[in-house]
Structure 1
Amino acid sequence: MRWEGNRESSNVEDYRDSSGGGGGGGFGIGTGAIGIGTIVVALIGGAVLGVNPLTLLSMLSGGGQQAQVQHQGPAHPPPANDQQAKFVSTVLADTEDVWTELFRQGGATYHPPKLVLYRGAIRTGCGAGQAAMGPFYCPADQKVYIDLSFYDTLKNRLGAPGDFAQAYVIAHEVGHHVQNELGITGKVDRARQRQTEAQANAMSVRVELQADCLAGVWGHHAQRERNILEQGDIEEAMNAAKQIGDDALQRNAGRAVVPESFTHGTSAQRQHWFDTGFKTGSVKACDTFGAAHP
């Protein structure tokens, strides 16, 4: 991926020298945070233990108790010589450029999210976040949270190396912010209150697949405007989508695949919707809610 030398976003808050160091507990799942990696641990653990991943998430969060997070000092910009921080700042800036223009074309104004870097655990508008849950977006404070050690997990444990795979992670979380900007997040949250657990899971799948598609839309326009892609980049993103499909995570944990427990979609679904967004560059093409079989 060609990213070095491109604009870096100023919407990055670095708490890595002041956030908690992995205190006990887990992420408060009832608070509405959504993301590419928030259920990786629960899916793997749930497959091994034979329990529903949503139940396990509640157990991991201590039955709704927040993680023990140390006092957080003020945020500051990341160090100028931090390559990983420069990378995510550059990817974030690229998403800002793409979505600002697409919203402008639609007669609307895009309000970009903040990207928060932290280590271990951190307080968020959605409760206590923990690194073990992976990157996530919090609609309450409109921020994307990532402990950059997740990229080691993505490469070494989930088998998805490459800088464009890492960019896909950021673009997916920004996709959740776009959903929030468009009013989709609120509608989904209200609908979930009237649904059974199985129906809520199915709704979550459509939310996540749409974020995958929106990540593809970003990739389409970033490539068209700035020629960011190198040989093998799309394959990296498609492989990442494959490795974090609900069925792949359950299968790799040595358990039977349980479709009723899916909350992010199968590998094939995640690849299909990212590819749809990338090939069309159209937000309208990302209507996972209108699709009979997403």
Structure 2
Amino acid sequence: MTGQAEGDGPSRWAGPPPAAAPPAPYRPESGSVPSPRPRRRGLTGGVVAVVIVLAAVALMGVVPRERSGYATAVPGTVERSDVGRSPGAGSPVGPRLETNPLLADGIRLARVSCELPELGRQDAQLQGFYRALAGCLEQAWRPALDRAGDPTLPATVSVTLPKVSTCGAAPSKEEAVAYYCGGDTTIYAPTAWMLSDAGLNRSRHLATIAHEYGHHVQRESGILAAAADRMTTPDQRSPADRAVVRRIELQANCFGALFIASAIGQGSVGRSVGNAAVADYGRADDSEDHGSRAHQLSWAEAGFSGGTTAACNTWSAPADRVG
């Protein structure tokens, strides 16, 4: 993208550091979930696919999947009776949304000192950066998932794009810059796509990967499965289904910023980079599937300043906070 500022400073769309004003706390084995972040200002097209897949959502027989800014459905492969069962779990943990154990009071992420290598334009350089970041995310989130009783599978990040994955055909560059596939618990962040969107701006890479990892957390906790179970139409375009999608996406923003708060001020995540990463969640346009620009930012601020997973309970928030 032209005019992209590179480096560690805030993006020109980022705005001021978050002001700590959170809203009141009010699974397919192959397939995908609606989680494409909306078209961002200044982009030449495309959306950040927040989740092109959750391995747990196909559990309902269809799997939400992003296409051209919308979620469509592909056949699921898991029996409905398995909905809400985490991989390897001995008993169902859901499906629950508002009362999901991960969102109970007092659950915090571990403080991590995240040491990240320099960003570069080669596949190997970007892969190294993402591998280290994924390790930090896993380290920060594991205590919370353990406390909630959610067995976890590791999430990996790939900078190369398969033509077909366990989630089906990949989106085009015009449709996404990154997406999460729950079928293989992989965040796909192709080098060309990410560099086109973020250049070498560390805060923007941090915000995007933390958001996508938030979808992995939703998968592991059964939230995506429960959300899929709540869908009422095949293409998820009904007003009620889009409201569910918005809550998924806004929660991923909140989860992403919750991680940033756990890493900020230590290791490679300095305060200016962390603040800019949180502010980056507010550079997107208003979207039916992702909420207003203001709400996309306010939920990120909720996670950043809230301190616990309960601050990210979009499922119990009133409709006017997730519109």
Query: Per the shorter chain, which TM-score range?
Result: 0.5 to 0.7
Is 1:276 the counterpart of 2:302 in the alignment?
yes
Change (3 A) 1:38 1:241: closer
Change (3 A) 1:231 1:277: closer
8 Å contact from structure 2 (residues 185, 216) kept in 1: yes
CA distance in 2, matches of 1:189, 1:131: 24
For 1:127, the equivalent position in structure 2 comes to 168
Residues 83-127 of structure 1: CA distance to partner in whole angstroms, max 9, x if unpaired? Answer: 2111111111100100112223444433221222214x5312211
Q: 1:170 aligns with which of 209, 225, 236?
A: 209
Q: 2:227 aligns with which of 188, 191, 196?
A: 188
Change (3 A) 1:201 1:42: farther
1:188: how far off?
Answer: 0.8
Equivalent residue letter for 2:230: A
Aligned to 1:149, what secondary structure does the other structure show?
A: helix
Q: 2:181 aligns with which of 114, 138, 141?
A: 138
Equivalent residue letter for 1:140: G
Task: Give the alignment of 1:60-99 within 5 angstroms.
Answer: 82-99=124-141
1:131: how far off?
Answer: 4.6
Task: Give the alignment of 1:1-294 within 5 angstroms.
Answer: 31-37=31-37, 41=45, 56=68, 82-119=124-161, 121-132=162-173, 133-155=176-198, 162-193=201-232, 197-223=238-264, 226-244=266-284, 246-247=285-286, 262-292=288-318, 293-294=321-322
CA distance in 2, matches of 1:37, 1:90: 23
Equivalent residue letter for 2:224: T
CA distance in 1, matches of 2:190, 2:303: 26
8 Å contact from structure 1 (residues 38, 135) kept in 2: no
Residues 186-231 of structure 1: CA distance to partner in whole angstroms, max 9, x if unpaired? Answer: 111111135761211111111000001111111122237x444324
8 Å contact from structure 2 (residues 257, 278) kept in 1: no
Residues 239-267 of structure 1: CA distance to partner in whole angstroms, max 9, x if unpaired? Answer: 421222x42xxxxxxxxxxxxx6111222
Question: How many corresponding residue pairs?
Answer: 221
Aligned to 1:115, what secondary structure does the other structure show?
A: strand
CA distance in 2, matches of 1:128, 1:187: 24
CA distance in 1, matches of 2:132, 2:67: 37
Listed as ranges, the gaps of 5+ residues in structure 1 are 3-29, 45-53, 65-79, 248-260
Aligned to 2:270, what secondary structure does the other structure show?
A: coil
For 2:26, the equivalent position in structure 1 comes to none
8 Å contact from structure 1 (residues 175, 214) kept in 2: yes
Equivalent residue letter for 2:184: D
8 Å contact from structure 1 (residues 162, 233) kept in 2: no
CA distance in 1, matches of 2:184, 2:194: 24
8 Å contact from structure 1 (residues 220, 280) kept in 2: no
Residues 269-294 of structure 1: CA distance to partner in whole angstroms, max 9, x if unpaired? Answer: 11111111111231111000110022
8 Å contact from structure 2 (residues 260, 274) kept in 1: no
TM normalised by structure 2 equals 0.59
TM normalised by structure 1 equals 0.64
- Compute the RMSD of aligned alpha carbons: 3.4
8 Å contact from structure 1 (residues 37, 135) kept in 2: no
Aligned to 2:264, what secondary structure does the other structure show?
A: helix
CA distance in 1, matches of 2:123, 2:182: 30
Change (3 A) 1:117 1:35: farther
